[in-house]
Every structure is written in C-alpha cells, then in structure tokens.
Amino acid sequence: MPTQSSCGTLVEATSCQRDRSPLVDPTEGSRYRLAMVCGTDTPSREWLHPGGQYVVSTDPARLDLDVIHGFLRESYWSTGITREVVQRAILGSLAFGMYATNGGQVGFARVITDRATVAHLADVFVVPSERGRGLSKWLMSVIVEHPDLQGLRRWLLGTRDAHGLYAQFGFTPLKAPERLMERHDPDVYTRPPVPHGGS
C-alpha cells in the first residue's frame, strides 16, 4: 500500500532475487539491464515524485546500463570508465535509478555502504534534458531518507561544483582533513584494465 514521506510517495517494496549476471533483453538490442545481489531482507523500493512525472527506484533490474555508462564515461570524475567497471560498481552498491513515468532512465546515484556505520555517495547525475526541475534535490531527499541508511556515523562524497546541493542535506567540508587519507589513481581508466576475479 502506498505510504507518504517527505520526499514523495513510497509506491512499492518488493524483494529481489540473487543474480550477479547482466541480463540482456533480446527485444532491447544492445541495451543491458542489471540484476544484483540483494537478500530477501533488502527489498527494492520506489518513490513517486510529488508531481507524478518521475519515479526513483532501488530495483536493480530497472537500471539502464547504456544510460549510466554513457553519462559516466564522459563525466569529469570517471572519464573513460568501462562498461564492465560500471557494472561491478553497481553490483557493490545500493543503487538509485530515476525514471520518467512515461519514458526511460533520467538520473542515477549509488551509495557504497555497510548499512551500519558509513556511506559514500557517488556517481550522482541527472541527464541534461531533465535538469532545472529540482530532480537532483528530490533524488537526494530519497537517498538520505532510505531506511537502510539511517543512524550512520559518517557520510562521504566528492564534488567539484555541487557543494550547494549537498549542503542542503547536511554535508560540510571536512572538519579534520588531516585525519583522512586516500589512494588516488586519476588515470586508472586510461590504462589497460587489470583482470578482475578468477582463482
């Protein structure tokens, strides 16, 4: 039954099955759709935009990898990223897809998290044709209110130019940057890929 929240109407909550393989719909040509690992205690959820024209969903089967990869490979933070890396990144994250109710995917974000202590927000975007409608703010509202992301000690993100958006949701510059370190390889996607997995 639909329930109201401050970020819209929660219209669906269903469990998904375990499947780490990409799914190809033969009627969609080269369009890839993903299924990912999620237990029966982690239902997918959908939120209907107050205006009724958009939906945010955590159902991995709805994600359009062509749209996601197409945007990310041209973005300033992951230029040249491969489709396979995007797929693996989604499989290891809580992913949020935004969709026009009468069309395809128009936005995306993912959260890398243990769902207990920390969350890293990444790859947030709304496609250019849908910008200027408050959708990034609505997407953020959905993310920070997700039931699995409550009570965390720390959220992290990186941004070049969207500080004003994230500040509305409590994000601030690091209070003690000297306490955090990183290993940064900005050219990783320009080199031949390193084999992943295997015995």
Q: With beta carbons less than 8 A apart as the criterion, state whether 56 and 108 touch.
A: no
CA distance 22 to 84: 10
CA distance 143 to 111: 8
Domain ranges of the chain: 3-190
Higher pLDDT, 194 or 125: 125
Q: What pLDDT sits at residue 2?
A: 59
CA distance 101 to 50: 12
Residue 88, pLDDT > 90, answer yes
* CA distances for 130 relative to 45, 120, 162, 163, 199, angstroms: 22, 25, 17, 20, 44
Q: What pLDDT sits at residue 192?
A: 85
Q: What pLDDT sits at residue 190?
A: 87
Residue 191, pLDDT > 50, answer yes
Q: With beta carbons less than 8 A apart as the criterion, state whether 11 and 48 touch.
A: yes
- Note the pLDDT tens digit of each residue in 163-180: 999 999 999 999 999 999
Residue type, 134: G
Residue 32, pLDDT > 50, answer no
Q: With beta carbons less than 8 A apart as the criterion, state whether 145 and 5 touch.
A: yes
- Note the pLDDT tens digit of each residue in 106-164: 999 999 999 999 999 999 999 999 999 999 999 999 999 999 999 999 999 999 999 99
Residue 35, pLDDT > 70, answer no
Q: What pLDDT sits at residue 9?
A: 64
Fold of 3-190: Aminopeptidase (3.40.630)
Q: What pLDDT sits at residue 3?
A: 59
What average pLDDT does the structure give for the chain? 85
